[in-house]
Amino acid sequence: MVLRGSAGAYWTLTGLWVLLRAGTLAVGLLFQRLFDEIGAGGGVWPLIAWVAAIEGARMCLQFGVMINRLEPHVQYATTARLRRRLLGSALRGRGAAARTAPGESLRVVGEDVDETGFFVAWAPTNLAHWLFVVAAVTVMMRIDALVTTALLVLLVLITLVTAAVHGRFLRHRRATRAASAEVAGALREAFGAVKAVQAAGAEDHVAAHIARLNTARAGAAVREELFAGVQRTVIGNAAPLGIGVVLLLTAGRAHEGTFSVGDLALFTFYLQILAEALASIGILSVRLQRVSVALDRIGDFLGKPSGTPPPVPVEKPKPKPVPAPGPAPRRDSGLRELTVRGLTARHPGTEHGVEDVDLTVVRGSVTVVTGGVGAGKSTLIQAVLGLVPHERGTVLWNGEPIADPASFLVPPRCGYTPQDPRLFSGTLRENILLGLPDEDGTVLGDAVHTAVLGPDVAAMRDGVDTVVGPRGLRLSGGQLQRTAIARMLARRPELLVLDDVSSALDPTTEQLLWSRLLDSPVTVLAVSHRPALLRAAAHVIVLGDGRVEATGTWDEILAESPGTRRLTTGPDHRDGPGPASD
């Protein structure tokens, strides 16, 4: 999933980093030959030319192609792809996205995606670095196994010392942060209770308390910096210590000719890069831990199975058989009938939902779902649209099962306005069109008119270019609902799905809105308690505790169960919403 779409660029980047490290390996061998030639009085200029050519090519390739082009492409293509996937999951209400707090969602989409993108771009560098380490150690072992083994033992010891020092450093760093938090908390409380401190005459006591906390913070910071300095010193002196070991072990053998000046030059050159690899072990460990956590959270957000053992299944009644989904309906198949059979759906992690619901919405008709608070009305609408996972049941479009309602029931087939619509921090125009082409303004004008938003827009100084504020906070509840309805109507869907969208409207505006909606040849599936809309509906479904309690026209339901009238709210326009006289 992470590399999908960027695999070619990723492996190209990896191959180029390996090529660069191979060039570094070749430079070490050239240095060996160069210093041997100097000692023998041979020609060195061709070797110097080769070193210059390889280093020049490396610089051009590394900074002109890889760091400047390929690495940003791999990193940002990965983050963009992951964010599109996460946003799609959030919009469909799937996986953890449907139950994740906004702050945690932002952390996943922001920090975790950035961490993953950086790791993907950084991994080829690290892989090539360690391949060079293996190749360099092999070359060094072939020159002198004893000296190379001694160097490896030294590097392992330095690694162990660094790990021990790093552990102490992290412990003191946590202590420094905790002490800083205590100082900040004490200062915040002192500034917030200045009058109380003065009234108690406790200024000196409070100041002394803050001074003690600050002294403790200073001590923790000094210890943190001390171990950080020790760690830097140990790693920084790894290469000089290694060179000292080489000189000690080969001092007598240099006169014998068994270990040449060129060999010493090669060991010295390779040791610098081996020391860099040593320093990168800690960074690699931290990066692996971070990206592992980030990928787990991203997978959970997308609804992927995690490493946590599944809960013990609770035995439930066997579902009645339903037809297996066949091929998806054709994309250009106009709506004739939307059918729901045996639909059972629950919100993840809860028992709240709907069970065994059947309904049929015929083209050109109005179907209304009603019921008491918590009856499952919104859940039913969301389940039909695929925004709540199905336990069983089938949704059919013109008699053909829909395999994935969340991706099929979208404009221009279906438009949806939820009970609590959200707007973006832009203008009315931007919120209604959301990038929809509208050069002559017809789409926007028709949507604003049908949603009865015209008088409100006319009263605004900037009209449709009025900025609505964060999440539409500058609009009233009714204006926000009608803006969301206009956004839905701008897509001109065949099926309108509306979840109690007129709850914040006054009776006159509400009647005019439904009159304009129903005056056009549309198909409506709505949640409502309004008597006028219930009477205008060809089919009404009454829910109770997630189950269908009654179906039929509103008059038929009232005749069978007069107590159902208590579910309605608002004025009862017995003639129903009819065509509006504008």
Whole-number pLDDT of residue 330? 58
Mean pLDDT on 215-224: 92
pLDDT of 198 > 90? The answer is no
pLDDT of 575 > 90? The answer is no
Q: In the structure encoding, which two tokens stand for residue 27, read together?
A: 């430079």
Mean pLDDT on 386-402: 93
Decide: 343 and 395 in contact? Cβ < 8 Å: yes
Mean pLDDT of the chain: 84
Decide: 254 and 267 in contact? Cβ < 8 Å: no
Mean pLDDT on 401-407: 91
pLDDT of 576 > 70? The answer is no
Distance CA 478, CA 473 (A): 12
Q: In the structure encoding, which two tokens stand for residue 226, read together?
A: 């001390």
Whole-number pLDDT of residue 467? 92
Give the start-to-end residue ranges of the domains of the chain.
Answer: 1-143, 145-258, 337-413+493-568, 426-490
Q: State how beta strands 414-417 and 337-346 pair.
A: unpaired
Whole-number pLDDT of residue 339? 96
Mean pLDDT on 103-108: 68
Whole-number pLDDT of residue 483? 94
- The side-by-side arrangement of strands in the sheet containing 353-362 is 353-362, 337-346, 390-397, 400-401
CATH fold of 337-413+493-568 reads Rossmann fold (3.40.50)
Predicted confidence (pLDDT) per residue in 280-335, tens digit? 776 777 777 778 877 887 777 776 554 444 444 444 444 444 444 445 565 557 89
Whole-number pLDDT of residue 110? 81
> Could you please report the per-residue DSSP string of 373-430?
TTSSHHHHHHHHTTSS-EEEEEEEETTEE-S-HHHHS-TTTEEEE-SS----SSBHHH
pLDDT of 275 > 50? The answer is yes
pLDDT of 559 > 60? The answer is yes
Distance CA 189, CA 181 (A): 12
Residue 272: CB atoms within 10 A of its CB come to 13
Q: C-alpha angle with apex 178: 177 to 182, nearest 5 degrees?
A: 115
Position with higher pLDDT, 464 vs 38:
464
**Candidate from 73-87, 387-401, 425-439, 561-575 with smallest mean pLDDT:** 561-575
Position with higher pLDDT, 366 vs 315:
366
Whole-number pLDDT of residue 306? 45
Mean pLDDT on 158-180: 86
Encoded amino acid at 200, one letter:
A
Q: In the structure encoding, which two tokens stand for residue 443, read together?
A: 């789409």
Mean pLDDT on 245-259: 78
Rg for the chain (alpha carbons), in Å? 35
Whole-number pLDDT of residue 4? 65
Distance CA 532, CA 370 (A): 13
pTM summary value: 0.56
pLDDT of 248 > 90? The answer is no
pLDDT of 497 > 90? The answer is yes
Distance CA 449, CA 443 (A): 10
pLDDT of 433 > 80? The answer is yes
Predicted confidence (pLDDT) per residue in 45-104, tens digit? 888 999 999 999 999 998 989 888 889 988 898 888 888 888 877 766 554 445 555 556
